[in-house]
Amino acid sequence: MEQDVATLRGLFLDLAEQEQQVLVEHEGGRLAGRVVGLGDDVVVIEGRNGSGRSLVRPDAVQTIATEQVAPAADVRSHRERPSDLAFRDLLAAGAEQAIEVAVHVRGRSTLLSGVLRAVGEDILSIAATRLSTISTFVSLEHVVRVDLEPGTGEVARQR
């Protein structure tokens, strides 16, 4: 009996190449859109109708639904593609531009929204507004997803 060798990364790669619409359920939420980028620790999903891009941690993904039935060969994908996309690096690029974000934090029922100020090795900081002097610091280990303001596609473009 042949054993399937499917991987989550391989599936995301297939979905990106096929430009399929997906519904991704993750810890604390769900997200509809299209996979437009993939790294070792990040999946970039472009929301439907130009609603912006989201950076999702693969280890937070619980289910993936597609609008099209995939042939069995597609769900057995074990391909790996080298990528230079990294969750922290994409966030750092967003902080340089002081973009608006909504951060989904593991175990928290409400979003943290504001301006992405800085990203360190294992934390990020958000201010309520561009003029605010008060910051909230978040451990990157607990970040499940970050929604980027519409129009910031260059921060999370596919490489």
- pLDDT band (50, 70, 90) for residue 154: low
Q: Quick check: is 1 in a domain?
A: no
Q: Collapsing DSSP states into helix, strand and coil, what is residue 8?
A: helix
Q: Quick check: is 153 in a domain?
A: no
Residues 97 and 68 in one domain: no
Rounded Cα gap, residues 92 and 36, in angstroms: 19
pLDDT of 10: 86
Residues 47 and 28 in one domain: yes
Domain end among 47, 76, 105: 76
pLDDT of 133: 81
Tell me the one-letter amino acid at 42. V
Q: Are 60 and 27 in contact (CB under 8 A)?
A: yes
Rounded Cα gap, residues 67 and 57, in angstroms: 22
Does residue 134 register a pLDDT over 80? yes
- pLDDT band (50, 70, 90) for residue 129: confident
In tens, the pLDDT along 25-79 reads 998 899 999 999 999 899 999 998 878 899 999 999 999 998 776 555 455 565 6
Residues 67 and 109 in one domain: no
Residues 91 and 144 in one domain: yes
* Sheet-wide strand order for 100-105: 61-66, 21-26, 29-38, 43-47, 53-56, 143-148, 100-105, 112-119, 123-127, 135-139
Residues 57 and 29 in one domain: yes
Our count of domains for the chain comes to: 2
pLDDT of 50: 75
Domain CATH number, residue 141:
2.30.30.100
In tens, the pLDDT along 73-104 reads 455 565 666 577 899 999 999 999 999 999 99
CB atoms within 10 A of CB 82: 6
47 forms beta bridges with 33
